[in-house]
Amino acid sequence: MKISWLKKWGLPGIILLCLGCAASPHSVEKFMNDTVISRIAMTDARMQTMGRTELLTDGGIRFSYPGVTTHFRANGKMLWLQAHSTSEQSHLEIIVDDNAPRVIRLAQRSQRIPLLIEAQSIASPHQVTIIHRGETWHGTVTLEHIEIADGDLLDPPPLPHRRMLILGDSVTCGEAIERTADCKKDTRWWNPRLSYGMLTAAALDAQVHLVCYGGRGLVRSWNGRTDELNLPDYVELTIADQTSPVTWDHRRYTPDLILSAIGTNDFSQGIPEREPYVTTYVRLIERLLELHPQAHVVLMEGAILKDEKKAALTEYLLEVQRRIASPQVHLLSSNHYPGDSCDAHPTKEQHAAMAKDLAPPLKQLMQW
């Protein structure tokens, strides 16, 4: 009877029948055909995660900022990820070895996602990368655990020792990078892996945390509101949820280089008053230097502003630099990248150009 079940359902079907089995984050389950399924916590030391995450007591991790990336190496016949989001708008990008990325839309219910397609299950070991494509307002994602059939995690390659932190808005979050020809906007368009920030970090062989929120600014949001979380607020957070914020422990990541590309949304309703803006920016930079006294901070206007608005923001940034009077605070002018007829956010090609603009002067500044 057991053999007929195996022939009828196969290994994946039998495993699905046992989804309700109780197991610890590091449990091992053995099936009737002697296949062993190991459950691995996302907080396991052999998992390499880059980006702001909340560490859960059950071994899972939660996050909402884009570009949060988990790398691991494993051998085994099959690999699965258990994950969910607080909404149906969150996407993960999965890259196995040198294969093309796969994009997965998450559900609010917990789902079991195969990490290997059939052709990939032949070779082993595998290098797996899981990247959060969305941003905070798309939903908060939980990676619950990894499951491995007849295998285990291997020691991972080390992350780069250089560290960057990039602060910004929707451009930094990678909004609309993978737009479609019909111009019907969807959260699938976001791709931080191809954003200027992650491309620049890759060119400089550095880790990077993207701390960004679409539509937000330094002192006000795109619609002029000042009662929402703006950069001085969400720079302190792991999960930038207005009703249930999660505080970030800055000791968990010490950047060598901080880029601040904020201001586009502040200027969408007109040029904000100079003194409140400059004073707020000075307090923000002083806070960053208090947290990370060894870091260099680079202020930029961003890719979208132009003409009198860009000139005003540049003047404000110069005043911020003058008041702080630190050799660790720098200005770097941004070229204008206007998007296209489909969307005002920079295109994928424009993000690549932005990274080419940034990498050489940053490399020289940091002597990297």
Residues with a catalytic annotation lie at: 170, 343, 345
Distance of CA 116 to the CA centre of its chain: 22
Q: How far apart are the first and last CA of the chain?
A: 64
Token couple for 311: 């000139």
User: Residue 294 and residue 272: Cα distance in Å, rounded?
Assistant: 31
User: Residue 47 and residue 339: Cα distance in Å, rounded?
Assistant: 36
User: Residue 268 and residue 217: Cα distance in Å, rounded?
Assistant: 10
User: Residue 212 and residue 68: Cα distance in Å, rounded?
Assistant: 12
Q: How many CB atoms lie within 10 A of CB 244?
A: 8
User: Residue 199 and residue 192: Cα distance in Å, rounded?
Assistant: 9
Task: Identify which of 266, 246, 320 has the alpha carbon closest to the alpha carbon of residue 288.
Answer: 320
User: Residue 122 and residue 182: Cα distance in Å, rounded?
Assistant: 38
Task: Identify which of 238, 213, 250 has the alpha carbon closest to the alpha carbon of residue 228.
Answer: 213
Task: Identify which of 271, 324, 279, 266 has the alpha carbon closest to the alpha carbon of residue 298.
Answer: 324
CB–CB of 138/68 below 8 Å?
no
User: Residue 159 and residue 206: Cα distance in Å, rounded?
Assistant: 8
User: Residue 41 and residue 58: Cα distance in Å, rounded?
Assistant: 8
Q: Which residue has the tokens 């051998």?
A: 75
